[in-house]
Structure formats: structure tokens, C-alpha cells
């Protein structure tokens, strides 16, 4: 019978076995393979952990294989685990494939007991060290393995220091620690009903079991959900010979990095403590020394460490994070891994390694991510400033914003017009708040989540937003908001942090993003400005961003467009690198003053009156499109015909009912209000998002889509006559049947031909559809007969596939779904590949079977989501479209997607012309 190998000595593995050995075990094995001074040991595999998690007991062969590995270790070092003479002691540490710092268990000094501590005293010649090591074992073992509350040990330790009249642990002598060991053993017995285990092998087995069990603690599961690490990976267990940095002045312990992980600055960085164990470095109980100080204290060990650091960075070809211990002048390497770093350091280090010829530009691009670029683009508060927290909500749209509180859109616009920064505070926002949202520096709502209207629009505009601050009571009538016993009035200053979800009273200083300056105004100007301010390090970061974005543009296949509804947004998108507009939402052109024109269309009593009202809209629409096509000259511009239900352009039903009822009671009836209420009642729907909207409007309100098609055609003709190169595309929303599209297409083709003849200009304006219904995706082979392009509206496609109402479900149960593992992330944030993604794939393949030159893209929120972009690349879409602010992120991720799938190819000039 073949028995699975569940235990690997460090000499048997390598860094490519992280799935089996975990990250820590694989890197210990790699350092051993390189011949570096690693304390010998062995790793129990993740397979053993998964077996335990699935069946509730360890594999029968595990104890046998651990025994064999332990005996081999004992023979190699010439000591026995827990022996009374020169005992072998080991550490037992977790080590999953992905780093989960502090989430799982570690037990040091395993093997110490009442007998072996005496042997350790004799061997080390340091009684205090031996009893301190035993004290640490009981405390750590009691807490992590036996479940004793850590406060019990902490209280006993504090009492010992108080008796002695000292402040720190290191001031306790051997006698004090010996007494403390007995107290700790009594605490274990009192809390668990059993004595502290004296059998070294029982200690090892229980510690191993506790590491396995720690995989499913609440904190570990929460961390994995947040970091989107699968729950079924399990952890390895590393059993390593103990080496001690607390054996006197010739011993110590430290942590170092081969470059600065905060800034990316070249050089060595780290901390060292003489006569200490690893936990002392991170606990902060003593001031650490720099590596320069270490060089003076122990020059020989320092020189060896520097050689190893250089060797590891060369071997891993990346920033390395290293833990080490010096035991009586002997250097030991305890761990290495590719180091975590800030977003700024990630870009800077990647390009440094290219210049040092350790990696290629392709590899450098793979080492940065869109999420890191986003961090560099958002403004931030000065972390050193004093602050007073008012409330917390969801971090809906990152950034830092300071402004005077206003409670409605009109006030936001008015105050912003006179130069006052404002924060728009609402219970929740709706489309009518758009002008105020544009005017505001930041948005704060007491309701809604990350996919609420406020959040989606704010992210699209690059506005800072905090949503769902439930402790905040917003009273728009009294113009005040209350959180606890604090009341904020209109005009008071607030500072909102869209990265953390925190809201502060008063004004915090904001640090602008130099990366946005570079994107808006160019590399040369941004670097010059930074150098003038003495910020050469930040200038290096900006140069690195430019270099890697430029390389991403060279290699990517996906084109990147922007969602933009006006010329100002289009201009900004183009500066950000957009290669066209993937979604222009024309409904935003009918807000504000033009709303009355739409009301006239809705309230028309005759077709003649309706046609007159529609004709009045054509000039304004034409001017909108002329401006848009001018900004996007030479680039594709996809214009979506009117999509929302008409009731969104009418007053609120409840408010209007109250107004009419009060007027009737006073005998002051306004006939226009009565007619308006009748229209609102007629158009009222229980579920308007699935009602009369999109293509259904175009088929049931004669002339509505025709006016928009005519305005697009006339705008294009004007641009051609002016020497421009307009490339409009007409997109019909919410199509579910090819017959719907045929009917709209027939009307559109006739109008285009008419305008073309009248203006003497040859117009070819592609007409396509937005795929946002499952039926449209499943019948794409039919719809492609009438559509020249598909644009996937993944926001609504997600709603209709899941049966979710985006405005309702997040607050209602998404938190529970995330907690229970139904989601690892909201399907509105990152594409549901298995469900919505499959529909997208089917529609793309079957649509191209009917029309091989069918152009396909995405214009939902997912178009700017890094993970979703990789799926869109592999599915073969032609482009993604996202908010102007996210265009650089999409450009970067589209390049990285190619490198993650080397069988794909970059665009040719013909592909670029295709759009």
C-alpha cells in the first residue's frame, strides 16, 4: 500500500512547493538547499492539515512519519527532544501558502519541562535564560494550545514585576522566573483541570494539532475573506530546532529587508536586539538597534548577513524580508520571503530591478497591480495630524476630502460656485443629486453600501465617498446630522476618508497625489514640481509609474475606453489615456433645466404636442454630442440611448401627492400639479428597473429614440464638415429580443440616411446593443444579426442574473453572505465569473459565430476592476470601459493580463483602428 508523504525535511523541498509546504516551509527548504545556515527541521504538509479539517482527526501515518523525522533531526544535531542533558528544543509554527501574519499559532521552546530545564541551565550556563525560556513556553502553550486566557498569565507577570519593583521582564532574575514558572503551571491547572504536559512528544503533538485548528479560527477566516484567500488550502506546520538570541551579549535577534519596503529606497533596512528573542523585536518592550549598530556590535555576523541578503535578493530577484538570530556569535537564518511593500515601493523597486538587470520589464509589470496604482492616485490625509472621529461607514470611494457640510444638491452647487469646498451629506443619493455630487469634494451618506448610487457615481467621478454610516442621523429639514451626542450643522467642516470609511470633525490637512498630477499634466511637469519641493523619492515613484504604464500600453491587447457623459469628463478621460468612450449615458443630459422639456414629452395630450416637445430637445442634444465628439475626435464614442424609466424625470410621487392634497384642502389647486400627479401615477411601477425603460421606451414613446439618433447624426455631420473625425456608435439598451433591435434599427437607419443626404456627408454610424439581460446573452446568435457590437452592461446583467436589486440587497444581506462564504467578494465589485461570466462568454462566442467581426466590450463597473479585466482578456473582448479615474488602472491590468496568459498577443495597428 502506497502511503502519502506527509512530512518533509527542510533538505527535501524547495520554494516551488508552497502548495504543499506552505510559504514558510518552502522558503526554509530553499535556504537549506542554497546552503545557508538554517536550523534543521521538518515540515508537516498542508495535505495533513486538510485531512484533519475534513475528517476531524489526523492521518494514522502522521505520527509515524513525525517520529521518523524527529529521530533523524535528533541524530543530526546530537540531542534528544526534552532530554535532561543538553535537550533539543523546537519551535512549532504555522505556514500557509499565503502569508497570514498573526492569524495562526506559534509555540516556541517545545521540549522544556521540569527535567529538561535543568539540563538547559547546565548546557547554557545561564540559569535566567533557561527559566525564562520555560516561562515563555508555558505562557504560549497555555494560551494557544490549552485555551487559557492570556490575561491570566499577563496578570501574574505584572504582579511579579510589581513585587520586584521593576518595569520590564528583562529585569526579573532567575529566582523570580522560577517562581513565575510555578505560578504559570498553577494557572494552567486551575483553568484546564490538567497539569502542564511534561512529555515532550505530547507537547509537540498538541502544538501541531493547535496549529491545524488555528486555520479555522474566527480571526483567520475573517482575514482570508478580506484577502480573498480560499478557505480550503490548509496550513503546513514547521518544526524547527530552536536557536536562542537571548544567551548574552554575543547573541541577538533581528529582522531586515534588502530594500526599504516603505519607500523602495535602495539599501539595507532592519532592526536588531542584543540578548533577545524574536518576539522582543516586534513587541516594542525595548528600543532596537539599526543594522549599522549591529555592524559595530558584531561585525563578523553583520558581514555574513549582508552577503546572505545580497544572495537571497539575487536568488529571489525581489525585495526579501528576512528573520535571523545570532546565538553566541553564530548567525542563523529563520525565515525569508518576498517582502510586503507599499504601493509606492512596489513601483519603484520593480523598475530598480529592471535597471539592475535582475528582471525584465514584463516581470516588473507583473509585480505591480491596479489596486496599488489606485492607492497612489487618491489624495490622503496627513497621518500626523490630530483628529476627532465623528463616525465610521463603508469605504465606498477612496481618497481624502474636506469641506463644509451641505444637505442638498442645490446648496452644494451654490456654495461650490462661490469657491467653497463642500461635503454633500445625504441619507442616500439619487440621480437628481448628480450636480451636487459633481460640485462636492466628497459625499457622505447614512444609508447604502459599496454599490449604492452614491458609491458607484463617486467612484466613477473619482470622488471621495463614505456610505452607510449608520450611526449618523441625517435631518435635511433641520440642516443637521447627529452621531451620538455630537451635532454637525450646515456649514460645519468635515473631513472624510474614503479609504478607511472614517469621518472626522473639522479640517484635516490633505496631501495631493503626485501620480494624478503626472496623469493630468504629463511626466515632465510632475517630476519638475516634485524636484522643486525636494521630493526626489516621490519623483522616482512617478517615473516608475510612467514607465510601467507605458510598457502596459505596448503589450496589452484590450483597448481601454472611459464612461463619460460630457465633454469635461471626456477631456479628462483622454488625458488619463482613454482610447474612446465606451458609455455615454444620455439620461444625464436631461437633468437640471432640461427636465421640464422631458416633462412636456410625458405630459403631452396629443402626438403633435409630443413631437413639438421632442423637437425642442434636438438642438440641445446636438450641441451635447458635438462637444463630446470634439473631445473624442478620432476615437470611438459609444452613445447609449435613453435608458431609465421616465418617472425618474418627474417629481417624487409621495411629495407630489402631499402637495396636491394640501392645495386641494386650501382650495388652491394647481392644474399643472394635478396633471403631473396623474402622469406620475400612470407611470408608477412596482419594479421600475424591470419595467418601461431602455428599448421599451423607444418602442412605446414614438419619436423619443428618433430625436437622439437625429441629434447624433447631425452632430457627426457638423464635425465632419469642420474637418473632424467623429466616430459615434449608437447603443440600444435593455434589448432582450432581436425583433426589438430590428425595429429600432430600421428607424435609425432611415434617420441616418436622411441626415446624410441632407448634410451631404457620408455617415456610417455603427448600431449595437447593451447586453444586460440573461435572455440577450443566451440569444446573442440572433441579436448579432442586427447588432454591430455588444457592450456588456455587467451591473444590470449581475442584477438580472442573480435576481438582486442592487439598491436594496447590499444593506439587507450581503454582510451575512460574505460572512457565511456565499460570496468572497460582492458580485457588483468583481465579476461573478461562474455565472455572469459564463453568460458573457456564451454571448461573445455565439455572437461572433453569427457576425465574425462583432466588436465586444464591457461598460459596467467591472470594466475598471483588476480581477475582472483578466477575465475579459481571456474571454476575448475587444475593450473595457470604466470611469475616467480608473482608466490608468485598467491600462495597467490589461497589460498584466497579457503576461498572465502568454498565448495571447498584442494589438496590431489594424486592431487599434478597429477600436
> Can you give the pLDDT at residue 121?
95
Whether residue 284 is predicted with pLDDT greater than 60 in this model: the reply is: no
Say what the pLDDT of residue 103 is. 66
DSSP character string of 819-866: HTTS-SS-TTTS--TTTHHHHHHHHHHHHHHH-TT-EEEE-SGGGG-H
519 — pLDDT class (breaks 50, 70, 90): very high
Active site residue 453: yes
Whether the per-residue pLDDT at 595 is higher than 80: the answer is no
Task: Find the catalytic residue in 320, 859, 862, 873.
Answer: 859
Is 338 strand, coil or helix? strand
User: 315 catalytic, yes or no?
Assistant: no
The predicted model gives 420-434 an average pLDDT of 86
pLDDT value, residue 511: 77
Statement: residue 450 has pLDDT above 80: no
Average pLDDT of the segment spanning 534-544: 90
* Range 556-575 average pLDDT: 95
- Rounded to the nearest integer, the mean pLDDT of the chain is 89
CA angle 812, 817, 820 (to 5 degrees): 140
- pLDDT value at position 101? 64
Q: pLDDT value at position 458?
A: 79
Which of the two residues, 609 and 36, has the higher pLDDT score?
A: 36
Asked whether 424 and 409 are in contact (CB, 8 A), the reply is yes
For the sheet containing 41-44, what is the strand order? 7-9, 41-44, 235-241, 90-96, 106-110
pLDDT band of 286, cuts 50, 70, 90: low
- Predicted confidence (pLDDT) per residue in 316-334, tens digit: 999 998 999 999 999 999 9
Calculate mean pLDDT across residues 670-688: 78
pLDDT in tens, 754-788: 999 999 999 999 999 999 999 999 999 999 999 99
Pick from 141-150, 721-730, 799-808: least confident? 799-808
With CA atoms as reference, report the closest residue to 651 among 671, 670, 674, 677: 677
pLDDT at 229: 84
Three cell numbers written together for 242? 530552536
Report residue 329 as a C-alpha cell. 556569535
pLDDT at 907: 34
Given the residues 49, 256, 320, 453, the one annotated as active site: 453
For helices 738-759 and 704-721, the axis angle rounded to 10 degrees is: 40
Inform me whether the pLDDT recorded for 821 exceeds 80: no
Kindly state the average pLDDT of the residues 130-149: 93
Assess whether pLDDT exceeds 70 at residue 338: yes
pLDDT for the residue 543: 97
**Beta strand pairing status for 7-9 and 41-44?**
antiparallel
Most confident of 126-130, 264-268, 739-743, 802-806: 739-743
SS3 214: helix
Mean pLDDT computed over 853-874: 95
Mean pLDDT of the region 806-825: 78
Cell readout for 123 is 548546557
Q: Which pLDDT belongs to residue 452?
A: 66
Which of residues 167 and 360 earns the better pLDDT score? Answer: 360
- The CA distance from 366 to 368, in Å, is 6
Please give the average per-residue pLDDT across 57-63, as a whole number: 93
Q: For cell 523597486, what's the residue?
A: 349
What would the pLDDT profile of 91-129 be if each residue is shown by its tens digit? 999 999 987 766 677 899 999 999 999 999 999 999 999
Is pLDDT above 50 for 913?
no
Residue 471 has pLDDT above 70, yes or no: yes
Q: What is the pLDDT of residues 480-494, one digit of tens each?
A: 999 999 999 999 999
The C-alpha cell that represents 739 in the structure block: 425583433
Residue 87 has pLDDT above 90, yes or no: yes
Higher-confidence residue of 111 and 614: namely 111
What would the DSSP string read from start to end of 128-183?
Answer: HHHHHHHHHHHHHHHHHTS---HHHHHHHHHHHHHHHT-SSGGG--HHHHHHHHHH
* The pLDDT of residue 915: 33
pLDDT reading at 791 higher than 70: yes
Instruction: Count other C-beta atoms under 10 Å from residue 259's C-beta.
Output: 24
The percent helix, strand, coil of the chain (3-state, each to 5) is: 50, 15, 30
Across 644-664, average pLDDT: 78
Split at pLDDT 50, 70, 90, the class of 914 is very low
Amino acid at each position: 500500500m502506497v502511503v502519502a508523504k506527509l512530512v518533509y525535511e527542510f533538505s527535501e523541498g524547495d520554494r516551488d512547493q508552497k502548495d504543499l509546504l506552505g510559504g514558510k516551509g518552502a522558503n526554509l527548504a530553499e535556504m537549506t538547499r542554497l546552503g545557508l545556515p538554517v536550523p534543521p527541521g521538518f515540515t508537516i504538509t498542508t495535505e495533513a492539515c486538510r485531512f484533519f479539517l475534513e475528517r476531524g482527526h489526523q492521518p494514522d501515518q502522521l505520527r509515524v512519519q513525525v517520529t521518523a523525522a524527529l529521530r533523524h533531526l535528533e541524530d543530526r544535531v546530537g540531542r534528544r527532544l526534552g532530554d535532561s542533558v543538553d535537550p533539543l528544543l523546537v519551535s512549532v509554527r504555522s505556514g500557509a501558502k499565503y502569508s497570514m501574519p498573526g492569524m495562526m499559532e506559534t509555540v516556541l521552546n517545545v521540549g522544556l519541562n521540569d527535567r529538561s530545564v535543568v539540563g538547559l541551565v547546565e548546557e547554557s550556563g545561564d540559569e535566567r535564560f533557561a527559566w525564562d525560556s520555560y516561562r515563555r513556553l508555558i505562557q504560549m502553550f497555555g494560551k494557544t494550545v490549552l485555551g487559557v486566557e492570556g490575561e491570566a498569565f499577563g496578570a501574574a507577570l505584572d504582579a511579579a514585576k510589581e513585587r520586584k519593583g521593576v518595569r520590564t521582564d528583562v529585569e526579573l532574575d532567575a529566582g523570580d522566573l522560577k517562581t513565575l514558572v510555578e505560578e504559570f503551571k498553577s494557572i494552567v491547572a486551575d483553568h484546564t483541570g490538567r497539569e502542564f504536559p511534561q512529555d515532550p512528544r505530547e507537547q509537540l503533538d498538541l502544538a501541531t494539532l493547535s496549529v491545524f485548528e488555528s486555520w479555522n479560527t474566527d480571526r483567520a477566516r475573517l482575514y482570508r475573506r478580506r484577502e480573498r484567500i480560499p478557505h480550503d488550502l490548509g496550513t503546513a506546520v514547521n518544526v524547527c530546532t530552536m536557536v536562542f538570541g537571548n544567551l548574552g551579549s554575543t547573541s541577538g535577534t533581528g529582522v531586515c529587508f534588502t530594500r526599504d519596503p516603505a519607500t523602495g529606497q535602495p539599501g539595507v533596512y532592519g532592526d536588531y536586539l542584543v540578548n533577545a528573542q524574536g518576539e522582543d523585536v516586534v513587541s516594542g518592550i525595548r528600543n532596537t538597534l539599526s543594522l549599522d549598530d549591529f555592524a559595530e556590535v558584531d561585525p563578523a555576523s553583520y558581514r555574513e548577513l549582508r552577503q546572505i541578503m545580497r544572495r537571497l535578493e539575487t536568488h529571489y530577484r525581489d525585495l526579501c524580508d528576512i528573520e535571523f538570530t545570532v546565538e553566541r556569535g553564530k548567525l542563523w537564518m529563520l525565515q525569508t520571503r518576498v517582502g510586503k511593500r507599499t504601493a509606492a515601493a512596489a513601483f519603484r523597486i520593480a523598475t530598480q530591478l529592471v535597471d539592475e538587470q535582475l528582471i525584465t520589464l514584463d516581470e516588473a509589470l507583473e509585480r505591480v497591480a491596479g489596486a496599488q496604482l489606485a492607492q497612489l492616485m487618491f489624495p490622503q490625509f496627513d497621518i500626523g495630524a490630530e483628529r476627532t472621529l465623528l463616525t465610521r461607514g463603508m469605504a465606498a470611494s477612496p481618497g481624502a476630502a474636506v469641506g463644509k457640510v451641505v444637505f442638498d444638491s442645490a446648496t452644494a452647487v451654490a456654495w461650490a460656485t462661490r469657491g467653497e469646498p463642500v461635503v454633500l451629506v445625504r441619507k442616500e443619493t439619487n440621480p437628481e443629486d448628480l450636480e451636487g455630487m459633481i460640485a462636492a469634494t466628497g459625499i457622505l451618506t447614512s444609508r447604502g453600501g459599496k454599490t449604492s448610487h452614491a458609491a458607484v457615481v463617486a467612484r466613477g467621478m473619482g470622488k471621495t465617498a463614505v456610505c452607510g454610516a449608520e450611526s449618523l442621523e441625517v435631518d435635511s429639514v433641520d440642516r443637521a446630522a447627529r452621531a451620538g451626542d455630537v451635532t454637525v450643522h450646515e456649514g460645519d467642516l468635515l473631513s472624510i476618508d474614503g479609504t478607511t470609511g472614517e469621518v472626522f470633525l473639522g479640517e484635516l490637512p490633505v496631501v495631493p497625489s503626485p501620480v494624478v498630477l503626472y496623469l493630468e499634466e504629463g511626466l515632465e511637469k510632475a517630476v519638475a514640481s516634485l524636484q522643486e519641493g525636494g521630493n526626489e523619492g516621490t519623483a522616482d515613484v512617478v517615473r516608475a509609474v510612467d514607465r510601467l504604464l507605458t510598457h502596459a500600453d505596448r503589450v496589452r491587447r484590450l483597448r481601454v475606453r472611459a464612461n463619460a457623459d460630457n465633454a469635461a469628463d471626456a477631456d479628462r478621460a483622454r488625458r488619463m489615456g482613454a482610447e474612446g468612450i465606451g458609455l455615454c449615458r444620455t439620461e444625464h443630459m436631461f437633468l437640471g433645466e432640461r427636465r421640464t422639456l422631458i416633462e412636456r414629452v410625458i405630459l403631452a395630450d396629443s402626438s403633435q404636442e409630443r413631437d413639438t416637445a421632442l423637437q425642442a430637445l434636438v438642438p440641445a442634444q446636438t450641441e451635447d454630442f458635438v462637444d463630446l465628439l470634439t473631445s473624442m475626435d478620432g476615437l470611438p464614442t459609444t452613445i447609449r440611448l435613453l435608458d431609465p424609466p421616465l418617472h425618474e424625470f418627474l417629481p417624487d410621487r409621495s411629495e407630489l401627492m402631499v402637495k396636491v392634497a394640501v392645495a386641494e384642502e386650501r382650495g388652491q389647486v394647481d392644474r399643472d400639479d394635478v396633471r403631473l400627479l396623474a402622469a406620475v401615477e400612470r407611470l408608477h411601477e412596482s419594479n421600475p428597473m424591470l419595467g418601461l425603460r431602455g428599448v421599451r421606451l423607444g418602442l412605446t414613446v414614438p419619436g423619443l429614440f428618433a430625436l437622439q439618433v437625429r441629434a447624433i447624426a447631425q452632430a457627426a455631420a457638423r464635425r465632419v464638415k469642420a474637418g473632424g473625425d467623429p466616430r459615434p456608435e449608437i447603443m440600444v439598451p435593455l434589448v432582450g429580443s432581436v425583433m426589438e433591435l430590428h425595429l429600432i434599427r430600421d428607424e435609425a437607419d432611415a434617420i441616418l440616411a436622411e441626415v446624410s443626404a441632407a448634410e451631404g456627408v457620408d455617415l456610417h454610424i455603427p448600431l449595437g446593443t447593451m447586453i444586460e439581460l440573461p435572455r440577450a446573452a443566451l440569444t446573442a446568435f440572433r441579436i448579432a444579426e442586427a447588432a454591430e457590437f455588444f457592450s456588456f452592461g455587467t451591473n444590470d446583467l449581475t442584477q438580472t442574473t442573480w435576481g438582486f436589486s442592487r439598491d436594496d440587497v447590499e444593506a439587507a444581506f450581503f454582510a451575512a453572505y460574505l460572512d457565511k462564504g456565499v460570496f468572497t467578494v460582492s458580485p457588483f465589485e468583481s465579476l461573478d465569473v461562474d455565472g455572469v461570466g459564463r453568460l458573457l462568454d456564451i454571448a461573445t462566442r455565439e455572437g461572433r459565430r453569427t457576425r465574425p467581426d462583432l466588436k465586444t466590450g464591457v461598460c459596467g463597473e467591472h470594466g475598471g476592476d483588476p480581477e475582472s479585466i483578466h477575465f475579459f482578456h481571456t474571454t476575448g473582448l475587444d475593450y473595457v470601459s470604466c470611469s475616467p479615474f480608473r482608466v490608468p488602472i485598467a491600462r495597467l491590468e490589461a497589460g498584466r493580463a497579457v503576461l498572465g496568459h502568454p498565448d495571447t498577443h498584442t494589438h496590431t495597428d489594424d486592431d487599434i483602428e478597429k477600436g
